[in-house]
Amino acid sequence: MSERITRYNPARVYELVGTVPAADPARVDAVVLAADTAQRDWARVEVADRVAALRDAADAVEPHLPTLAELLARESGKVLADCRGELGFALTFLRWVAEHAPRVLADTALDDAAGRLLLRRRPYGVVAAITPWNAPIILSFLKIAPALAAGNTVVVKPSPLAPLAIDRTVRLLASALPTAVLQVLHGDAAAGAALVGHALVGKVAFTGGAATARVVAAAAAAQTTPTVLELGGNDPVLLLDDADLSPEPMRRLVMASFATSGQVCMAAKRLYVPETRHDEFVAAYRAAAAEVLCLGDPLAAGVSMGPVVTAEAAARITGLVEDAVARGGRALPVGRVDPGADLRAGHFVTPTLVTGVPEDAPLVAQEQFGPTVPVLSYRDEAGLIARANAGELGLGASVWSADEERAFAVARRLEAGFVFVNTHNRTGMSLRAPFGGVKRSGYGREYGEEGIAEYAQTCVVHAPAAFRAGGAGAAANAYPAS
């Protein structure tokens, strides 16, 4: 009997949510071989027909959104409203790609005095999509939609910590597509290594942590397989001295830190506030948190934050807070607990704001990836920029100011792939805006036209003017003049 991956509810750890079969290397090989065979026919389909099939695939998923959302909430600990939102947004993204891909992927032809030049957008072949547990649907769709539109086939390997909803979703999508164009398989690190290192995989798209990314990149490099890596961040929030601390923006900032229990790569993770407004900010932030942040079972009405994903994650996050307090920090619980919640039943961590913590504390210097965030005061803008840019990560950042021009001027000085203005996290995203990191936060882009172009390689056909009929010719070893 084949092994299976078992998933229990992180909010009620005794509750079995479901299982999926784990693939061994032989199964991985069979899936990739099928994808490679299917890709040849899929690439010959016109782009217009490929995106029409993607729209049909979105329609096949839509009736199942309520049951998929509940399944995602039960396996991941993400609150039900967020799961509904993620699934709906994933379909919105797929349809956005279907609308824009024909233009982005179109051939470009030039015929002028310099010669005739044809630029063709060609697929890579089989794309391996390695996806995480914290937003498994949208982070898979960010790879599936543009890769399929470009004529690739896709094999998705989700995280074992949230395999169930994405398994069903991919199978629903695949039901509207030709056989083996889109497949899903599950497994541990060995299955991932077999997939990434497969000789027939043409590109690898990975979202996850730095340690796994190094393993993925090394395995891909052994085959000289190109990669897209979207990794973690330690996003600084820069509140300038004229920032609006009224309830509405503060509610937005609270959820930018604590949505999905803070387990988001682009969450707000370091809050820099003017020294003169420190106490005012803390009071405003805590008041906003009391309104919008409710800890409890993800399926309960009114709950906005559930458990973290595992007991190990809970222990790590608690340890970061305890270390910060030992260094002189002060931990301030924020939000409230749902009266009907049994926090002993799952991996619940009290959301905390930590003040007075030194900059070298792990809570500040590392990505917390959990429901705790430090508040750090500053005196001058020059020092603020240096502190915000410290460290090896550069995924996101945000600048908050009543003066948009001033905010943009500061944003230009930040070492981040995506800088939000007067918001942070998903409220600041746009389908048209490419997203990705700098420094050790990865490379390549998702969203926007660049996110579509990631899955097509430019191939060239060129007839230089010198050698066309009537051309002047050139020496056999000449360099081009233009």
Distances (CA, A) of 303 to 16, 220, 418, 446: 22, 41, 29, 30
* Known catalytic membership, residue 291: no
Q: Residue holding tokens 């543009």?
A: 146
* Residue 185 and residue 195 in contact, taking contact as beta carbons nearer than 8 Å: yes
227-230 vs 153-157, strand pairing mode: unpaired
Query: What would the two tokens of residue 80 be?
Result: 């039900």
Q: Is the dihedral of CA 441, 436, 65, 128 positive or negative?
A: negative
Tell me the two tokens of residue 62.
């839509």
How far out from the chain centre does Cα 131 lie? 9
Name the active-site residue from 75, 86, 265, 367.
265
Pairing mode, if any, of strands 270-274 and 236-239? parallel
Closest CA to 135 of 185, 72, 81: 72
Provide the token pair at 13.
Answer: 């750890």
Closest CA to 331 of 364, 297, 354: 354
> What span, in angstroms and rounded, lies between the C-alpha atoms of 408 and 382?
15
For residue 290, the one-letter residue type is A
Give yes or no: 46 in active site. Answer: no
Reading the block at residue 190, the tokens are: 């060995």
Residue type, position 332, single letter: L
Active-site residue (options: 230, 415, 446, 454): 230
Contacts of 184 (CB under 8 A, 6+ apart): 155, 156, 157, 158, 166, 167, 170, 171, 174
Q: Pick from 220, 216, 173: which is nearest to 198 by CA?
A: 220
Is there a contact between 227 and 455 (Cβ–Cβ < 8 Å)? no
| Helices 189-196 & 25-44 angle (0-180, nearest 10) | 40
Does residue 310 contact residue 347 with C-beta atoms inside 8 Å? yes
For residues 20 and 175, is the Cβ–Cβ distance under 8 A? no
Catalytic residue numbers, as ranges: 230, 265
